[in-house]
Amino acid sequence: MIRDLKRKYGNVAVSAWPPMWTLAYDSDRMTCTDPEGVLESVERLGNRLTLRVKFGEHEHIGSLLWDGPPTVEEIETVLKMHIGNPIREVSELPV
């Protein structure tokens, strides 16, 4: 599942999901930990994905980086098929 993606830091594997959501277009760079929200877009940047999520009236961005498998292409495909879905549901998608 998406929520099971991990990233190694030294000898420790940490969860890659959920990304840290940062308020888009705001110089204060406010972050969001709210589990509610809707996936708005997915963009690939090298070996990571940038996700845009709408929490109420505010758009946030987050960077998703993990150690494969699955590949970036596989996760990108799954996420793009679920644009418009709640983040809570996206986290439960099988990969």
Each residue's pLDDT tens digit, 24-43 = 765 455 555 556 789 999 99
- Spatial distance between the Cα atoms of 49 and 79, rounded to a whole number of angstroms: 10
SS3 state of residue 76: helix
User: What is the pTM assigned to this prediction?
Assistant: 0.86
**What mean pLDDT, rounded, does the chain reach?**
88
Residue 32: what pLDDT? 57
| Cβ atoms of 72 and 44 closer than 8 Å | yes
The tens digit of pLDDT for each residue in 63-72 reads: 999 998 999 9
Paired tokens of 52: 């845009």
pLDDT of residue 56: 81
